[in-house]
Structure 1
Amino acid sequence: MDSARVVITGFGAISPLGLTVGDMWSGLCTGRCGIGEITAFDPVGFSCKLAGQVPDFKIQQYVPRSYRKAVKLMSRDIELAVIAADEALRSSGLITKGIDPEKINVDPTRVAINLGAGLISCDLVELAPAVAASTTDGKFDIRKWGKEGLELVTPLWLLKYLPNMLACHIGIIHDIQGPSNTITCAEAAAHLAIGEATQ
């Protein structure tokens, strides 16, 4: 593999210090801590009440107006991938349909997505009522799940958690027409995505 074909910029980094590389770098340079009290959910019952949480954001700011209906089909992991891809594309100088449809400077058939995602986690708030309805005496009952629990899950629920949906939404937003793939393999995902993309 020619090492000049791979460039790791860090653009698209999202962390408890912010949603951009600039936010993260500024936080690191000033010694700001990204760890704080858990606010994403009520941590009562957990021994640890601290976490490194990504700051709140409105995903609508990162998707074209014409695509905003699809936001309801995005899990938080998809939203984070869309934000990261937006920064990475903007910093690369590539102008796609999702950045400025009037000034596209790249052939969409020559652009591909090979995205590494550690784990696509389900939002427990969405699934909790169905799981609760499927328990008997504190134990999960698969028969109750089939009869009662599944009725509490929206029919479109799975579309938010399929691994390919991260790359899919990015591809649609930016009209990327080359190959599209999401690799979910825990900590190795990014390395595997880079390796596969270079082949």
Structure 2
Amino acid sequence: MRAGAVRETRRRVVVTGYGAVTPVGPDVPSLWQALLSGRSGIGTVTGFDPDGLPVTIAGEVRDFDPLVYMPKRAVRRLDPFAQYALAAAVQAVDAAGLTVPVSRPDRMGVLIGSGYGAEKTIIKAAEALITEGPRGVSPYFAVSGGSDSAAVEVAMRFGAQGPSGSMSTACATGATCIGDAARMIATDVADVMVAGASDDCLTKADMAATAKTGVLSRRNDDPAGASRPFDLGRDGFVMSAGAGVVLLEEAGHAMRRGAEILAEVAGYAATTDAYHLTSPDPEGRGLQRAMRLALSDADADVTDIDYINAHATGTDGGDRVEITALRQVFGERLAKIPLTSVKSVLGHMMGAASAVDLIATVEAMRTGTVPPTTNCTEPEDPELDFGTREAGRREIRTAMSNSFGFGGHNAVLVVRSFDGG
């Protein structure tokens, strides 16, 4: 079947709500306010004793009360990553005004992934086994120790009986889950999908291991200034925790119930570098292909893009490769498009990062405001607009959100304003 014919027969997918738990606050309003003001969520680690680590800063989730979103019994059994996911999902469903259970629960699904899964629960179980023996291991570990535990809890909370599960594509996980969930709706597998990702891998073991790869910033004496995407003074990314979840619906389903439509998921593509465990292909060929495929999927071209939310984490090689790939795809047009990274404020939320990136992208479209790349005081490429110029109001009808991660995973989403047609 022709690509055009496939596009004509597939169903349209829209975003009607979203939620987030991040280092700058427990919801989307606090997230958006921090992004616009440049208020950093990065600080010295408090969740454990970082003594002996070369890196002692991170973007921890603070001011989050899980009891606002779930009963005590759920808090006791759930890893923090799953608590964040459930909270973000509740926010998304509430924001969308969706009455649950829906009339067709078999047509509602959940796809919430994680780069690391129930990391703290796994470590706690291992420590209990060593110090107390088998009796010390909680029975909850059997059901809450997997990366699918967040999706399970969300499905049970809303009575979703359609497809559900968890995926992991490292730092691209959120975009992968959202893109694949959108395809489930587009191909008539589901009418409603709760999709996104969550991570909390801020443990001493994970930070020690990641620091050894050389990708983390060691600007311990300046936490707020440590995450510096696209800046010549960058020295690595900052590990963070949190979740981002969106509610996706088939457009007709959303319109029939009178929902406010925030954006349309117009295009999605995923590719793999198959180059290196941690480093991207130096030419960014996989990312280039993902961007071109996502544009094609959206029936759009580079002239349609009004804003790009970059993956840019603040690593020397990663940021440079992304710019190289963008220049190859967009050419001279790139200099006219705002290109910013919200990781300058949030740090890198690992698997959850790309879900929060998409939320920020839609907020930029809705408000006509581009969040700046905070800390980018000496841009690597002076020709490009990293959100460091005077922005003001800007009409954004179509935007792109890029994600790529360890293992060579690339995922690109294209969203546009919904025309109601």
Q: TM-score, normalised by structure 2?
A: 0.38
Residue equivalent to 2:85: 81
Q: What does the per-residue CA deviation read over 1:136-164, in whole Å, with 9 as the maximum and x for residues that have no partner?
A: xxxxxxxxxxxx74443223323222122
Q: For structure 1, which segment, 2-11 or 148-157, has the greater mean C-alpha deviation from structure 2 after superposition?
A: 2-11
> Could you say if the C-alpha distance between residues 16 and 86 of structure 1 is closer, same or farther in structure 2, counting changes exceeding 3 Å?
same
Gaps of 5+ in 1: 98-104, 134-147
Residue equivalent to 2:73: 69
Sequence identity (%): 31
Greater strand fraction, Structure 1 or Structure 2: 2
Residue equivalent to 2:270: none
Deviation at 1:126, TM superposition (A): 4.4
Residues in 1 aligned to 2:99 and 2:18: alpha-carbon distance in whole angstroms: 15
Aligned letter for 2:105?
P
Residues in 1 aligned to 2:114 and 2:27: alpha-carbon distance in whole angstroms: 18
Residues in 1 aligned to 2:76 and 2:23: alpha-carbon distance in whole angstroms: 24
Greater helix fraction, Structure 1 or Structure 2: 1
* 1:21 is aligned to 2:28: yes
> Could you say if the C-alpha distance between residues 14 and 188 of structure 1 is closer, same or farther in structure 2, counting changes exceeding 3 Å?
same
| DSSP 3-state at the match of 1:12 | strand
Gaps of 5+ in 2: 1-5, 185-421
Residues in 2 aligned to 1:44 and 1:54: alpha-carbon distance in whole angstroms: 20
CA-based RMSD: 2.6
- Whether contact under 8 Å (2:115, 2:168) holds in the other structure is yes
Residue equivalent to 2:329: none
Residue equivalent to 1:111: 108
Residues in 2 aligned to 1:14 and 1:96: alpha-carbon distance in whole angstroms: 22
Deviation at 1:96, TM superposition (A): 1.7
Residues in 2 aligned to 1:129 and 1:167: alpha-carbon distance in whole angstroms: 26
Q: TM-score, normalised by structure 1?
A: 0.74
- Whether contact under 8 Å (2:17, 2:96) holds in the other structure is no
Residues in 2 aligned to 1:73 and 1:41: alpha-carbon distance in whole angstroms: 20
Residue equivalent to 1:171: 155
Partner residue of 2:173 out of 189, 192, 199: 189
Residue equivalent to 2:54: 47
Residues in 1 aligned to 2:170 and 2:134: alpha-carbon distance in whole angstroms: 28
Paired residues, what number?
174
Residue equivalent to 1:32: 39
Aligned letter for 1:43?
P
Q: What does the per-residue CA deviation read over 1:5-25, in whole Å, with 9 as the maximum and x for residues that have no partner?
A: 344578223221112111111
Residues in 2 aligned to 1:195 and 1:35: alpha-carbon distance in whole angstroms: 29
Q: What does the per-residue CA deviation read over 1:116-147, in whole Å, with 9 as the maximum and x for residues that have no partner?
A: 3222042134433434x4xxxxxxxxxxxxxx
